[in-house]
Structure 1
């Protein structure tokens, strides 16, 4: 059985006084979530906004990834899935997402 989905994302970047803040909004069609990230330019460093954008965006996407993993693990524990991802599951019952 094939499954095709389209998730929509919006990335908002704000820079003020050598601090870049990023908000990533994800809409899966059934769930909406937001990831946040910031980057600060050290006072002795040259202010290169692109670097702050990249670092803050990476942190926002990492935040979103953690949220997605929590939802996936929670869904795996749901009725009818046949999986247990909690501590009682043992190594064979868990999906290892640490390296993903």
Structure 2
């Protein structure tokens, strides 16, 4: 690892439970850890209709994608807040 390279880790934790309405619910957490004190957790959910074929990987993938999207949104919000604190100006990030 070079002196300028940084390593951040994202752990994905997936949990599946039977739903009271039938089918199942899958919950995923995307846990980001940076080399400093930053720690964010994105959460995503997926629900299988009781009439659908049970293919657990699909619920895992969907819940994980939603957790990662939530994490990305939180990271953008954190970046904007950090920039505004550093510059004391309103920041608008371009897409």
Give the TM-score normalised by the residue count of structure 1. 0.78
After superposition, the CA RMSD in angstroms is 1.8
Unaligned runs of 5+ in 1: 86-93
The match for 1:96 is: 94
Tell me the distance in 1 between the aligned counterparts of 2:69 and 2:4.
Answer: 25
Give the TM-score normalised by the residue count of structure 2. 0.81
Tell me the distance in 1 between the aligned counterparts of 2:30 and 2:13.
Answer: 6
Q: Once the two structures are superposed, what CA deviation does each residue of 1:12-36 show, in whole Å capped at 9, x if it has no partner?
A: 1111111111111110122011111
The match for 1:11 is: 12
Unaligned runs of 5+ in 2: 19-23
The runs of at least 4 aligned residues of structure 1 exceeding 4 Å deviation read none
The match for 2:41 is: 34
Q: Larger strand proportion, structure 1 or 2? A: 2
Please say if 1:25 is aligned against 2:31: yes
The alignment covers a number of residue pairs equal to: 87
